Structure 1
Amino acid sequence: MSISTKLRSTAAVGAATALAFTLMPAGTASAHGYINNPPSRQAQCAAGTVSCGPIQYEPQSVEGPKGLMSCSGGNAAFSELDDDNYGWDVTPVGNSVTFDWTITARHSTSTWEYFIDGQQIESIDDGGAQPPANFSHTVDLSGYSGEQTVLARWNVADTPMAFYVCVDLNVGAA
C-alpha cells in the first residue's frame, strides 16, 4: 500500500469517526440534585414558571466549589439564578419549612447547609452517607419574617464541590 493510499485511508477513517460522533444523540448531562418543593429557582425554571436559560434543562446541575454563597454556584451559564428581581414565585410558609429534595446522582454527603442573608440557619451532618433519591429536611425559620431567600448548599464528601439551590419564601405568611 502506498503512502498516499495510507494517508487517504487514515483521513477517511478520521472523517467517518468525527461524523459518527457528530450524529450521535447527545447524552444526558451528569445529574445531581435540587429542591423541588417549595419550588426552588431552578425548579421554577424547569417547570417553565419563569423563563430561564440552560438551567431549565438541568435543574439538578448547579454545582460549584464548596463555600460559595451564590444561587448559581458560580456558574455563569446559570447566572439568572442570582438575580433576585427575576420574577421568582415566592412561597408562603410558617415558622418552619420542609424542603423536598430530588437527587439524581447520590453523592456521598458531608453536610447540608441552609442560609438566610449569609447566616447559617441549619446544618445537617451526613457523615459521608449517600442520600436517597427523594427526602426532606425541615428547617426552623424562627426569628425571620417576610420575604426571604434561603440558600441551600449540599456539600459532597469526596470532592471539593457542592450543589447550590435557592428558594424564595414569605416567612410567617402561611
Structure 2
Amino acid sequence: MHKRRKLAALLGAGLAPVLVIGLAPSPASAHGWVTNPASRQEQCARGVVKCGEIKWEPQSVEGPKGLKDCAGGNARFSDLNDDSKGWKVSNVGRTTTFNWRITARHATTTWQYFVDGQKVAEFNDHGQRPPETLSHNVNFGSFTGKHKVLAVWNIADTANAFYACIDVNIG
C-alpha cells in the first residue's frame, strides 16, 4: 500500500508540469494592421504615442464585423478610441496607398475604408488569403482636410474583422 501511494505521488509530481504547460492559455495568434500611413496601433507599437497593451499587440485589434470602432470593441485596446491622445496626422493626397502587415493570413471577404464613418472604398478578395504585405489605393473623393480613416479587414471564415484607425490630412 505504501509503495502504491509513493508511486502515485511520483507520477502526479511528474505529470503536473506537463498538464500545466498543456492547459496554459496560448498567446493570441497574430493577424494584421495598417503600417503606412501609420495607424494608431502602429504609432503605439513604435512608441510615438504612449498607449497601453496595444503597444505589444498592434496586430490584434479584432472584433465582430460591422463595428465602426478603432479598438474593434476590445476594451483592452480602448486607447485607440481616444481622439485626444495626440495621434500623429499623416499628410496624404486625394488618392493614398494603405499598406497592411499581415501576420496570420486569414481567408478574406473584403477590405473596407471609411472616412468619418462614410465608406469610400471596398476591395473584394473572394475568400483569398492575403500575402504578408498588402496595399490598397484609396480615392478619398471630395474629402479634404483632417479626418480619421477606419480600415477594416473582414475575415471570410469567422464572424470577426480586424480594425485600424489612421489620422490623415487629405490635401
Could you tell me the TM-score, scaled by structure 1's length? 0.88
In the TM superposition, 1:1-174 aligns within 5 A as 1-2=1-2, 4-17=5-18, 21=21, 29-172=28-171
Distance 1:27 1:133 in 2: 22
CA drift of 1:94 comes to 1.6
Distance 1:140 1:16 in 2: 55
Letter in 2 for 1:12: A
- SS in structure 2 at match of 1:100: strand
CA drift of 1:18 comes to 6.0
Indicate the RMSD between aligned Cα atoms, in angstroms: 2.2
Distance 1:10 1:84 in 2: 56
CA drift of 1:4 comes to 3.5
- SS in structure 2 at match of 1:42: helix
- SS in structure 2 at match of 1:170: strand
Distance 2:18 2:9 in 1: 14
- SS in structure 2 at match of 1:60: helix
Structure 1 residue runs of 4 or more that deviate by more than 6 Å after TM superposition: none
CA drift of 1:145 comes to 1.4
CA drift of 1:9 comes to 2.9
Unaligned runs of 5+ in 1: none
**Number of residue pairs the alignment of both structures matches:** 169
Question: Once the two structures are aligned, what percentage of the paired residues are identical?
Answer: 51
CA drift of 1:54 comes to 1.2
Distance 1:110 1:15 in 2: 43
Distance 1:40 1:113 in 2: 15
Distance 1:76 1:7 in 2: 45
CA drift of 1:93 comes to 1.0
Q: Deviations over 1:37-76 (max 9, x none)?
A: 0000000011110111111111111111111110000111
> Contact 2:120–2:141 at 8 Å: present in 1 too?
no
Distance 1:129 1:158 in 2: 11
